[in-house]
Structure 1
Amino acid sequence: MTIPKAMTIAGSDSGGGAGIQADLKTFQELGVFGTSAITAITAQNTLGVQGVYPLPLEAIGQQIDSVLSDIGTDAVKTGMLFSANIISLVADKLNRYGPYPLVLDPVMIAKGGAALLQQEAVEALRRELLPIATVLTPNVPEACAILGSQEIGSVEQMIEAAKRLHELGPRYVFLKGGHLDGEEAVDVLYDGSEAILYRSPRIRTKHTHGTGCTTASAIAAGLAKGLAVTDAVSEAKRFITAAIASGLEIGKGIGPTHHAALRLSSAK
């Protein structure tokens, strides 16, 4: 039996709601075999991030070598990369083994406010990974950080920001609007010529830990299965909307999304 494969290169979330844990759950739910290379270990729960411990470059590189030299992959998703040195290493490995469809989730700040990407690493992200990304998946604060001084407070400004981000090299920009106000949550997919808007009712819940990781890994799963980017994004939107609507009340703070929600609702 053959099965599509997707690899996540990201940090570990001990609380299980985000990071490689969320990525692998998403891959499994969407029918893709998941592999991983851990870039950093976080001590983390629903209340926040208590510690960040980047792995040595040798350990990160060897994980990537081990997976790609044997198992291979049909798509790659990157998450928490933390430092400029890790970004350079990952870019080098992907260029050496690839090209692969790459979903780049520019993880910068945890839900509780902890920094997950060093400030000096933002330029390395722009220079080395954005030009090889198939889909860049920032939220509004991440888009502002990448662009430097961009103000994003409306859908029109989201579209303009997506256009500017596209100029940095990714084939597609999927700018998520969950941080904006309004009764609707609006996301923008931009391919260099057309902006597609994805609108959904805003779900009033605090249990949204891991939404960015889950969305990006769902897109990567779709690409691994051979879907076009627009179809992979549509599948990811259905998946994450169900997951948020069924958010789990786990822990004392911001709970995770429910990765099995779409499957369980379909089985009824």
Structure 2
Amino acid sequence: MKRPALACLLLLAACSGQRTLTVCADPNNLPFSNRAGQGFENRIAQLIADSLGAKLDYVWWAQRRGYVRNTLGEKKCDLWPGVASGVEMVATTRPYYRSSYMFVTRADKPLAGLTLDDARLKTLKLGVQLIGDDAMNTPPSHALARRGLTTNVTGYMLYGDYSRPNPPAAIVEAVEKGDVDVGLVWGPLAGYFAKTSPVPLRLERVTPWLDDAQWPMVYEVSMGVRKDDPALLRRIEAALAQNRARIRATLGDYGVPLID
């Protein structure tokens, strides 16, 4: 290629104005995201990038403690999909979905209609998701502890064994195998892994949903950006609104229980 032609191409590329939207995501965390782009957050991120006329890129980081500090906090990426609305560490968009913790039971067991105050829970093997050994554990674990239900509870770490695919699936697999009778599982995880389960599973919302004002069972989910980039926040919100129907359809494809 002659030098003038090459220079012209380089100039066109520099002036094209296409930005790159860099998303921070976990490479091994279905149904949310993985390195192969198979998660619903991967699909939604692509919708957002397309609406912004941007090229989509990723910074892969295991979603454990220190995740925000090492990604958005160090300005390695622009966007964090799937953050609880209103968290203080980032600026969050308006919610793009709302979901609930779910009771997961085998469909062949007579366990329909459970609530947190159901007397049956005292004699059943219960599974809850855990984050750590401190006050950062999940709302169902706090709800069961307040009711004195601790001796018949097995914890399944939300982070899990990262050497295996999709470690949060372990609690649903425990219900499938009968290791526990009831799993109390965050909705998107429950819905996705129930859809792909070889054993028919029953999903019902954990109620009462506002068992404790600090630890509700229903959460709104947003996208997070750095607090010093309000312009990007506005553009992301506009893209979410533009793609509302397609986002809802995507969540349905993955079995995410949606609470209107």
Structure-1-length-normalised TM-score: 0.31
Q: In terms of Rg, which structure is larger?
A: 2
Which structure ranks higher in relative contact order (CA pairs < 8 Å, sequence separation ≥ 6)?
2
Q: Would you tell me which structure has more helix in proportion to its own residues?
A: 1
